[in-house]
Amino acid sequence: MWVNNTNTALKEEKRSIIDRISLHAIIKQTCFDYPDNIAIEDSYTDIKMTFAEFDEEAETLAAALQSLGIKKGDKISIFSENNGRWLVIDQAILRNGAVDAVRGSSAPLSELEYIIEQSNSVGIILKDVALYENLKEKIKKFNPKFVMIMFADEVNRDDVDFPLYTYQEMIAIGKQKVFEPVEVNYEDDATLIYTSGTTNKPKGVLLTHGNLMSQPEKLHGLIDAQPGKSILCVLPIWHVYERGLEYFFFSHGTTFIYTNVMNVRSDMVKYRTTFMIAVPRIWESICSNIKNSIKSRSKSFIKLFQFAIFWSTINKKALRYLQRTNVYVKNYNILGDIWNKAVYLLTLPLHKLFKKMFYEKLVSKFGVGFETSVSGGGALAPVFVDFLEALEVNLIVGYGLTETSPVLTINDAMRPAIPYSAGRPLPNTEVKIVSLETMKPLGAYEKGLVIVRGQQVMKEYYKDAEATAAVLSDDGWFNTGDLGWMTSDGDLVLTGREKEIIVLSNGENIEPSPIEQVCLESQHINQIMLVGQDKPVIGALIVPANAAYQQFGSSETPTTVDKERIHKMPGFIELFKKEISTRMKVKSHFRPYERIVKFEFISEEFSPANGLLTLTAKMKRNNIAEKYAKVIEKMYK
């Protein structure tokens, strides 16, 4: 299936030619259009500024950077979580034609050191003094043109031979200078975003101004962003998903309210913003919190609420058929219309009653009454989609990758939602479903590999021509590594990943092979495959070794019955918990989110005979996941 939106006309928008030059030109134009509107509010760092103030501060900081010798093409590392100064710094760097290499401040120090070195950063910007103290000795060897700390009243400059400034000191320098504009265009490099690769070293995805500009340009008309509306920002801004959408909303004069994971629940109620973008894990948490609030009520109340959700879900599913938004229906017919219209009309009074009784109060109590909320960074499980739809939470889903800036497809907020789909391709974006074996295009509803081409596709993996060539063809097609199919209307439905990388529901990328190899060092583990795509934590399917069974009284060749009996023994389960924990602790490079939290035992070995191994003994991950889907589902209940 090939969907080509190159002929889709963008809605008319009164913008100057400046839009087609650089990303920061779009931002500057917005500041000119809405100078007195609030641009950013961050109560956690006591920052609040209008668009005019934002523009002035970005220009002042750009002048300071220029005076320190920052030139077009220079790389500057930014290591920080969300805050009201991040976008100011980002824009100051881009106005100089420089490139920011970004990561969160909570990343392992070895990873931050690697990014500084791999990106050839000549400047380093850190969130706070604590991070600076931890990185100081490592920074010395890079001899940077400057180091700036975003939040610090003063800094200790003893034993430091590089220029060190606080944010306020840099602003003071900039006020004494006049910024000389730098010519920057569509093709120029803008940012380096680091993502998991085939080794423990992250890969630097190099995105241009044109790549990033694809988001404000192509999302226009799909989400009703306007001046005066507001968005709650909780995801890491150094992640391309949050950052790309922030550029889109900023370009439309939307006010940013910054929060964090600890306070997002209370801030949803406090600010009641128009929009929120989040990963599936946050939406799952919201659903769980709503359900937990019901559990404290009487048994009769709980049963009534469950009854309400059941019939509201039936009502919404019937409506999907009538609106032609059920991705699993290939051919609609008159009998289906009659049946679903009857179901819809019969259940509609019940749904309206339950909406008044339960849903409106819950939506208000938990602050989820957004005009539009967006889920991305992974697939949201159908059970949560159905629950939020029953409550009438306006949720749209999009799809993309770091390498695609990120959005490739999205459900149009201006039309009925398409549950379970990732939406349609953005304007001027081509999406093909091709055969894994032949790479030839497939038809509608045929499952295959998703490949894409468009303005948003990255320039390259920085300093890694081999990795770039492996995913990006000479004629611009990018291999996403994702599996899926297209409906006859051009909606993309994702089904899994051809790549080994696992993406958790919080957006973290996990490479399973190194973890599996460490676990296989145990004499008790015969085979192991990590799972957890779109789940909150890593899980594993484990084929125990006979040595483990023998410890619990089994023979040298235990039967399936013996194995299944032993699998339930507390001591057997505890043995594997200790084995996995011990092996993981020995390897210090593993991050906290790479810990195996859940596992289930498999009685049958993976082999070529049962279709779970290749002839070269490589696991067929998709086959294994499909065969043991119910086991995996049980693991995460």
Of residues 107, 105, 65, the one with CA closest to residue 89: 65
Which H or E run contains 6? none
pLDDT tens-digit readout, 325-373? 999 999 999 999 999 999 999 999 999 999 999 999 999 999 999 999 9
Q: Which residues pair with 410 in a beta bridge?
A: 398, 424
104-108, 301-305, 509-513, 591-595: range with highest mean pLDDT:
301-305
- pLDDT band at 14; cut points 50, 70, 90: very low
Give me the pLDDT at residue 280, please.
Answer: 87
Q: Which residue has the tokens 């910024």?
A: 179
Is residue 205 within 8 A of residue 193, CB to CB? The reply is yes
Q: Is the pLDDT of residue 256 over 50?
A: yes
Q: What is the CA radius of gyration of the chain?
A: 26
Average pLDDT over residues 224-244: 94
Query: Pairing between strand 75-79 and 99-103?
Result: parallel
Q: Is the pLDDT of residue 21 over 80?
A: no
Q: Comparing 6 with 405, which gets the higher pLDDT?
A: 405
pLDDT tens-digit readout, 552-599? 887 777 888 889 999 999 999 999 999 999 888 876 567 888 899 999
Give the length of the chain: 637
Q: Coil, strand or helix: which one is 306?
A: helix
Average pLDDT over residues 482-496: 91
Q: Which residue has the tokens 């070269």?
A: 616
Q: Comparing 5 with 95, which gets the higher pLDDT?
A: 95
Q: Which parts of 86-208 fold into alpha helices (H)?
A: 86-95, 109-119, 129-140, 167-175
pLDDT tens-digit readout, 272-304? 999 999 988 899 889 989 998 998 899 999 999
Give me the pLDDT at residue 200, please.
Answer: 55
Of residues 34, 62, 64, 29, the one with CA closest to residue 49: 34
**Residue 403, class by beta-carbon neighbours within 10 Å (0-12 exposed, 13-18 middle, 19+ buried)?**
buried
Q: Is the pLDDT of residue 616 over 80?
A: no
Tokens of 466: 């081999």
Q: Which residues pair with 146 in a beta bridge?
A: 123
Of residues 154, 181, 156, the one with CA closest to residue 169: 154
